[in-house]
Structure 1
């Protein structure tokens, strides 16, 4: 592991009434200690998980539009509102890595085409691959050096089978001890990775929970076991 701790510099904050400090978990956030090579952030949209992930990317000097330190392009509303207010503790510090924003991956692929470096991503333009293929091409070709990798909803382009393929890639990378991942996700498949730590953002404080405690697991399991009942209630039939 490289990144050990994330701290909110509360003394810099003049008010907790405006975004992003108005987010419930941010009002109570002081520090988060990371203890495994794979950390998952879970929670409803708006709970603050992507906001914190983006702030970490900002402090790593990654492009907060998506990419690494050397990817220079812009996407509207991609600036981090929290980056100036957190402190990262490293041992040792690493500079290599990547920030994946699923929502701006198209712009990242266009950037790679524009600078002519798609050879580093499997030899084909990411635009000439399916969305899922392009994501896996990124994972297999770019995530191959010692570094920290920040992924915001990587399951957005991955079928269930490709999510399992990603878990195999992730495990190979972390087994060498050279990679650390922080992943914001809604996927019960990705959350099932056995060697990760899960932090929930759904309460007023960030809380470590077990896989079986996640709403993603519980709701998916209950739906699969009681599909007809769920559908009758939802559809009013």
Structure 2
């Protein structure tokens, strides 16, 4: 992918000072850098240029279309578009999913309280005889309440909660649900909401998806667990010029290393 600029407005001004004009993509390509380094700008430019699916709305600045018109890309094997199902997954997508899960579960909680009260009312009332078919629904519901425990009665009347997972577990499941075989995925800081353990799990999932299921990933991250993925090609956007570097030389990873080395005797 090549980007050219002769102006000083966003997003044209972001990459020329970094001397970044071309990127060669691997099965797993990572954009590393601090806040303001252009990781998300680059990821969104690729997503828009390739017309990838996205869930959260993308707020385009006035000159994005002009910028994209200056960007070029080449695909291997004669392809002229990204594989079906390819998409960008942003932190907003995951955040909105977590809010949806919470809303559903809060709705379940509200309905559960209603059913508890309904059960208590039916079990307090003396059974009335079935006089006509008009009484059938009332009669069968009350009979069921009398014959069931509160838990059994309730479980038949409310939807299940979405697994009762933590935010991190729900976020991890979002990635595993959205990522299928033979597609391109752009992931914008996927470590957000994930514990260290789940970041390691996500790294393994991405490695396996690239190796065994022919997926390709372009990821913006500063998570050491994701940066350490096998055979990942890492572009350090904090360097001028932008260069490909091993994960062990990156400033964020070195900071972790130095910290733990300093406190090694405490482990």
Equivalent of 1:99 in 79, 88, 97: 88
* Aligned-pair CA distance for 1:179: 0.2
Unaligned runs of 5+ in 1: 1-5, 114-122, 229-237
Q: 1:160 deviation in Å?
A: 0.5
CA distance in 1, matches of 2:31, 2:215: 17
Instruction: Tell me, in whole angstroms, the C-alpha distance in 1 between the residues paired with 2:101 and 2:51.
Output: 18
Alpha-carbon shift at residue 111 of structure 1 (Å): 8.0
Larger relative contact order (C-alpha < 8 A, sep ≥ 6)? 2
Tell me if 1:23 matches 2:18: no
| Gap change, CA 1:125 and 1:51, over 3 Å in 2 | farther
- Cα distance change, pair 190–156 in 1 and its aligned pair in 2 (3 A): same
Identify the structure with the greater strand proportion.
Answer: 1
How many residues are aligned here? 201
How many Å separate the matches in 2 of 1:30 and 1:7?
5
**Structure number with bigger Rg:** 2
SS in 2 for 1:145: coil
Q: Which structure has the highest helix share of the two? A: 2
Return the offset for 1:165: 0.9
In the alignment, which residue of structure 2 is the partner of 1:86? 71
Q: Distance in 1 between matches of 2:227 and 2:236?
A: 12
Per-residue CA deviations over 1:94-126 (Å, capped at 9, x if unaligned) read: 23212111145333566899xxxxxxxxx9769
Question: CA separation of 1:62/1:112 partners in 2, compared to 1, >3 Å: closer, same or farther?
Answer: farther
After superposition, the CA RMSD in angstroms is: 3.0
Unaligned runs of 5+ in 2: 103-159
Extract structure 1 runs of 4+ deviating beyond 4 A: 24-27, 108-113, 123-126
